[in-house]
Amino acid sequence: MYRDMLLLRFFEERALRVFLEGAVVGTCHAGIGQEAIPVGIFSVLRPDDYAVSTHRGHGHMLAKGADPRRVMAELFGRRDGYAGGRGGSQHMACFEVGFLGSNGITGGGIPIATGAALACKMKRNGRVVVSFLGDGASNQGTFHESLNMAAIWKLPVIYACENNLYAMSSPWSEMAAVKDVAERGAAYGIPAEVVDGNDVLAVRESTARAAARARSGEGPTLIEFKTYRFCGHSRSDTMPYRTREEEAEWLIRCPILRFSERLRSLGILDDSSEAKLRSDAMRIVADAEEFARNSPEPDPESVAEGLFA
Amino acid sequence: MREITYARAIREALAQEMRRDPNVFCMGEDIALYGGAFKVTEGLLDEFGPERVRNTPISEGSITGVATGAAMLGMRPVLELMFCDFLALAADQILNHAAKFRHVYGQQVRVPLTIRTPSGGGRGYGPTHSQSLETWFMRVPGLKIACPASSADAKGLLTTAIRDDNPVLFIENKMLYSLKGDVPEGEHLVPFGKAAILRRGDDLTIAAYSRMSVESLKAASILAGEGISAEVIDLRTLCPLDVDTVVASAQRTGRLLIVEEGTITCGLGAELGFRVFERIWDYLECPPRRLACPDVPIPCNTKLEAAILPSAVKIVDEARAMMEAG
Ligand SMILES: Cc1ncc(C[n+]2csc(CCOP(=O)(O)OP(=O)(O)O)c2C)c(N)n1
Ligand SMILES: [Mg+2]
């Protein structure tokens, strides 16, 4: 898990760097600071469970088992990317590992995840679907409509809300009159809990409870993970809407730092094993970047390919 | 072959496909016990049970997304939207999700989703329950659109839609539900993208779809009495659009009239008329003409409604004017 968190962190840092260099065009939403959530979630789910993501999905995808090389290649818009250069940062899927796609429409993936859970229930395959969403997305109608449907049909879905306190520039506290997103679960008869999203073990435990509920036919769970995005929303963001003090407070609560301290206090991690994990993760990221840079540009002739099955 | 209504033909296609493939299921508002607002799914609950004839909450946006998500994992949902006007609430899921996923996700996925919905006026339901919005969706790459004008096509096109691996918008028509016609009893498929020539003629070509094909046929028989021989083409699907059949016909007759029930601006007439014009303008005796609803909301009052919706009588007038023009 620790290595996965490092991988996500280094990957996003690298992605932002190449983006600033101009090698990656369009947009690029990184999840720096939020790594504990996908890593914790997928550490307890089964490989054949599913996930539907948001516009900030690189980390979700990597934690689900997608190939960092192909994710990076997609950021570069190259032929070997998961969408062959058609999707970019916020439209990637890897069905082989059950990652059903990131999504450029805020809240758009929530009914998709709910429908995937309906399919799982109808097929009686015992699988669970994770529906990632942001605090901002919880103000979309799709969130409310989907939670209601999942509740009446007892669908095997976990709504994983990453509340990083902001939706672009909008503070959660100004965009909702309730204190926690989790309060909204009650409106639909869905059990909900607030979890420290920067504590990977807490993420893991809450997910395990929700997955057990889902698999035993008891239906959906809403988990609100409190977290913080260390980087800007996207490239142009200079973050005038939050204070440097607030950022500093959250930096101390860095999920990677905290997990490292925890592992060290348990005697599982020391300087040399940490250095090894870091260099392993770094190597994977460097390799992904090299792969992406060497991947050919897609052929413009092929642009309409695959529109219809 | 026996005569059944358009509504029953649709139900028959649903039942036959649900028997054939366990992944096919229906969902929508009030479709189970109640049988849907137009009773199209009546009786299916008894045979297939509530899991496969699934009532949903009134959440058009998200039920469309839910059906899409289920389709991505191999189910073949047939979603009923009670009125086509409600496509506005479902538009994001159709346009930004169902129709795009295959292409933007690098062909990793198929979305075998069918959305059935009735369009059209004629019943005095007024501005939010009478529109024909299907031509909006002609501009959504990745989406197919079928719009049957007869009972046989209702069954055949729906069967094709359900077996298609792409999202299909299946446009029914409220005024046609009770129309009877011969329908094959067993499996019946009508391919997409192949227009039907409903009546042969030499003086002008009338291209239409859904209820306007029926009105065009009525108009053609009136015109025949006046010595005007009209060819009537029922397009059957708007995407794919069978431009070739229309071109071949208009090239021979020299005149093209396009009839549709939706509003005129940027409608089928604008698109099809231009596509034909750019290919065979030098064969045409006069410019292609469009008969459609003017750009106003559809009123409740029967006389007001009749004033704006195209009809056989208006088609006849338009055709006469074209014959006089050249
Ligand atoms: C329907 C829609 N509205 C607005 C946007 C623009 N937008 C992209 S991300 C975003 C903020 C989303 O906030 P949140 O759900 O909290 O996720 P976060 O970015 O914090 O991870 C906005 C407004 C969009 N992509 N889609
Ligand atoms: Mg947020």
The CATH number of the domain holding residue A269 is 3.40.50.970
Q: Which residues of A61-76 are buried (b: 16+ CB within 10 A; e: fewer)?
A: bbbbebbbbbbbbbbb
Cβ distance of B104 and A309 shorter than 8 Å: no
pLDDT given at position B288: 97
pLDDT given at position A23: 83
Residues of A in contact with B169 (CB under 8 A): none
Q: What is the pLDDT of residues A76-101, one digit of tens each?
A: 999 999 999 999 999 999 999 999 99
User: Is the model's pLDDT at A236 over the cut of 90?
Assistant: no
The reply to whether A234 falls in a domain is yes
Cβ distance of B66 and A115 shorter than 8 Å: yes
In whole angstroms, give the CA distance from residue A181 to residue A161.
Answer: 8
Protein residues within 5 Å, CB atom, of ion ligand 2: A 134-136, 164, 167
Question: A198 C-alpha vs ligand 1 centroid, how far in Å?
Answer: 21
pLDDT given at position A251: 95
Cβ distance of A92 and B109 shorter than 8 Å: no
Q: 3-state class of A56 per DSSP?
A: coil
CA dihedral of residues A299, A301, A304, A306 (deg, nearest 10):
-60
Domains located in chain B, CATH noted: 2-183 (3.40.50.970), 196-325 (3.40.50.920)
Give the number of other Cβ atoms within 10 Å of residue A112's Cβ: 31
Q: Cβ of B50 under 8 Å from any chain A Cβ? A: no
In whole angstroms, give the CA distance from residue A66 to residue A26.
Answer: 22
- What is the span of the domain harbouring residue A10? 2-289
User: Is the model's pLDDT at A55 over the cut of 90?
Assistant: yes
The reply to whether A305 falls in a domain is no
Q: How many domains does chain A have?
A: 1
Catalytic residue among B12, B17, B60, B172: B60
pLDDT given at position A25: 82
Quote the minimal CA–CA distance from A95 to chain B in Å: 7
Q: Cβ of B268 under 8 Å from any chain A Cβ? A: no
Quote the minimal CA–CA distance from B52 to chain A in Å: 9
Evaluate whether B146 touches B170 at the Cβ level (below 8 Å): yes
The reply to whether A152 falls in a domain is yes
The reply to whether A47 falls in a domain is yes
Given the DSSP bridges, would you call strands B24-28 and B53-55 parallel, antiparallel or unpaired? Answer: parallel
Quote the minimal CA–CA distance from B225 to chain A in Å: 45
In whole angstroms, give the CA distance from residue A6 to residue A260.
Answer: 10
A185 pLDDT band, cuts 50/70/90, is: very high
pLDDT given at position B151: 98
pLDDT given at position B46: 98
**Cβ–ligand 1 contact at A55 (below 6 Å):** yes
Catalytic residue among B29, B80, B97, B129: B129
The reply to whether A294 falls in a domain is no
Complex-level ipTM beyond the 0.85 threshold: yes
Whose C-alpha lies nearest to ligand 1, atom 7? A106
User: Is the model's pLDDT at A235 over the cut of 80?
Assistant: no
pLDDT given at position A234: 81
Question: Which parts of chain B register pLDDT below 50?
Answer: none
How much is the pTM?
A: 0.96
Evaluate whether A86 touches B103 at the Cβ level (below 8 Å): yes
pLDDT given at position B16: 98
Cβ distance of A115 and B69 shorter than 8 Å: yes
Q: Cβ of A26 under 8 Å from any chain B Cβ? A: no
Burial category of A249 from C-beta neighbours within 10 Å (exposed 0-12, middle 13-18, buried 19 and up): exposed
The sign of the CA dihedral B117, B118, B124, B130 is: positive
**What is the residue-averaged pLDDT of chain A?**
96
pLDDT given at position B136: 97
Q: Which of B64, B104, B165 sits opposite A309 (nearest CB)?
A: B165
The reply to whether A308 falls in a domain is no
Q: Cβ of A156 under 8 Å from any chain B Cβ? A: no
Token pair 């096109």 is found at B157
The reply to whether A129 falls in a domain is yes
The reply to whether A300 falls in a domain is no
Q: Which residues of B138-171 are buried (b: 16+ CB within 10 A; e: fewer)?
A: bebebbbbbbbbbbbbbbbbbbbbbbbebbbbbb
